[in-house]
Amino acid sequence: MVKICVYSLIFKQYTLKEIVEKLSEIGYDAIEIRIADDGIHISTRYTEEDIKNIKSLLYDYGFKVTDLAGYAKLGYEWERAKSEMDIMLRTGKAADKLGSKYFRIKVRGYDANIGYEKIRKLFREQLKQVISMLKKNGIEAIPVIEQHGGGDMAHTTAILIDLLRGFDPENIGVMFDPGNAVKVGWLPLDLQIDIVKDYIKHVHVKNYEWDTERPGKVKPSSLDKGIIDWVEAVKILSKFGFDGYYSLEDFRNISPEVKAKEAFDFFNKI
């Protein structure tokens, strides 16, 4: 059976308590929670009381946290990188306290003035240090790097494997997100997955279709109608042994409750 959850970002207008209540009514029992400086839905400056309250909420509804979705990035010059790494450490600590096995980190955006190889070198040096920091602090949750374009450089799984090659998948993972590659960084689904199959720990689920009114542009679509064949994606991931969570991140301009219900029904038919 496919394990499914919802990324709290699509319910950003709701409190965490309201999200859990609504998801529980639909039938979910797991959630991926956003952690960011703006405090939606957990602040990186969280207090012990904040964590205590969240744990109590999750316990009351029988919910599991699948991942803490952070925004800190590796690959910057060291002056900025140190503050990013401090945020990662705090995120890892929160993940452990909430019983989450994973927390998201990201890759800085490509900058032609610095160049790919320099960013890659910085990323790998910093990742090695982050892994060491986590171990020294007894943190069991491991970072997962999101496949993401736009403001990030990790458009393709080919770039991700180049960044991660040689790192132990026990210490670092990938958040597979093919929806982020439909326009820039697209590869056939089976190839995308095969490249990073040993690292995939978590999957973000969304879909896009080509916008007929804006050539070359895409627009959010339902899971069953877009560029990505999610039924096929699940088959391929299962073939390669993935047994983690599929987390809904649907950006259509409709109510989050409807999106969550559609995804629940979609995945329960697979």
Which pLDDT tens digit goes with each residue over 84-142? Answer: 999 999 999 999 999 999 999 999 999 999 999 999 999 999 999 999 999 999 999 99
Q: What value does the mean pLDDT take over residues 63-69?
A: 98
* CA dist., res. 173 & res. 169, Å (int): 6
Q: Please report the pLDDT score of residue 57 as a whole number.
A: 98
Confirm whether pTM is higher than 0.75.
yes
Q: Does domain 3-269 fall into CATH 3.20.20.150?
A: yes
For the chain, the average pLDDT equals 97
Q: What is the pLDDT of residue 149?
A: 84
In the predicted structure, residue 21 carries a pLDDT above the cut 90? yes
Query: pLDDT confidence of 150, banded at 50, 70, 90?
Result: confident
Q: What pLDDT score does 216 carry?
A: 86
pLDDT at 31 over 90: yes
Q: How much is the pLDDT for 151?
A: 87
pLDDT over 90 (residue 81):
yes
CA-to-CA separations, 83 to 88, 110, 214, 221, 222, in angstroms, rounded:
9, 19, 40, 37, 38
Q: What percent of the chain has pLDDT over 70?
A: 100
**Per-residue confidence (pLDDT) for residue 234, from 0 to 100:** 98
Looking at the DSSP assignment, which residues form a beta bridge with residue 205? 248
182-233 tens-digit pLDDT = 989 899 999 999 999 999 999 999 999 999 999 989 999 999 999 999 999 9
Question: Which of 98, 36, 41 minimizes the C-alpha distance to 64?
Answer: 98
Q: Tokens 């171990």: give the residue.
A: 135
The model's confidence at residue 1, banded by pLDDT at 50, 70 and 90, is confident
| Cβ neighbours of 64 (radius 10 Å) | 16
50-62 core/surface letters (b: 16 or more CB in 10 A; e: else): eeeebeebbeeee
Question: Half-sphere exposure (CA, 13 Å, Cβ side) for 66?
Answer: 22
Domain ranges of the chain: 3-269
Neighbours of 186 (CB within 10 A): 14
Residue 135 to residue 117: CA distance in whole angstroms: 27
Q: Is the pLDDT of residue 270 over 90?
A: no
